[in-house]
Amino acid sequence: MDKIRINNLKFYTHNGVLKEEKRLGQQLEIDIELQLSLRKAGETDDVSQTVNYAEVNEKIAQHTSHYSYDLIEGLASGILDDLESTYSKQLKKIIIRVRKYSVPMPSIFDNIEIEMEREF
């Protein structure tokens, strides 16, 4: 299966369980992997034969700026729902990873990351 990946999209959001997280906000990183056939796009060099990743980026940006969730799992699921409703005919699978860096836990770590996927 061919893949389109957009890595390390950065968004400032107001997600989190704690009131401070929602009030102050924080940066999240998102990776998206779209699995589909890219054969026709490669043969024709025609953007209409693929999923336009600029449009995917815009959909993710719109979702992260318009919705607030307690959990990054909720954010990821909402983005997957948006992408599925638009691209399910072209895509075979979508994988999303969301990373959160400012997690109020008494430990030393880089980030918390969740990964979710949808198959069609």
pLDDT in tens, 25-68: 889 999 999 999 999 999 999 999 999 999 999 999 999 999 99
Multiple choice CATH, 2-119, 2.40.170.20, 3.30.1330.80, 3.30.1130.10, 2.40.50.140: 3.30.1130.10
pLDDT at position 19 is: 84
Both tokens of 95, joined, read 């994988």
Distance (Å, rounded) from C-alpha 8 to C-alpha 67? 20
CA angle 28, 9, 43 (to 5 degrees): 155
Q: Which of 19, 59, 89, 100 is catalytic?
A: 100
The reply to whether 93 belongs to the active site is no
